[in-house]
Amino acid sequence: MPKKMEIFDPAMCCSTGICGPSVDPALVRFAADLQWLRQKGVEVRRYNLSQEPAAFAENQLVRDKLATDSTSCLPLILVNGVLKSTAGYPTRQQLAEMAQVSYDPAHDAPPASPETAPTLASLPLAGDKSNGGEQCC
């Protein structure tokens, strides 16, 4: 069965959070990890509370979690509609386990050094609609 991963992010200025003068390295890593999952055949959908509030309102599980925990539970990660993670961005290995895709640390581990890390240009950035990014604030 194909895997569908949905990420419900807290409010950010753009769809990935990779924009503006100070980019959180955790968001850069997570964006690269989601690209890796897509290459593994996982359908990845990402929703930003400030830009797509309807996606949050339309999902009963997300609505319930927000009602009990407020936005402190974000990001929420669902796989095929099942809640898998709350309140943090998992590692690539954890994402692989959630999506039940193969993960070999020798080949699939994210880059460990700045020289081999993904560049911002290789990730979906705000305003880059050709690479999966959205308009920025």
Residue with token string 């998992």:
90
Q: What is the pLDDT of residues 103-125, one digit of tens each?
A: 888 777 776 644 444 554 555 54
Q: What is the pLDDT of residue 18?
A: 58
* CATH assignment, 4-129: 3.40.30.10
- Residue extents of the structural domains in the chain: 4-129
pTM: 0.75
Residue with token string 């964006």:
31
CA 104, CA 31: separation in Å to the nearest integer? 19
> What would the two tokens of residue 14 be?
């753009």
CA 36, CA 95: separation in Å to the nearest integer? 10
Q: What is the pLDDT of residues 19-77, one digit of tens each?
A: 656 667 888 889 999 999 999 999 999 999 998 999 999 999 999 999 999 999 999 99
CA 23, CA 27: separation in Å to the nearest integer? 8
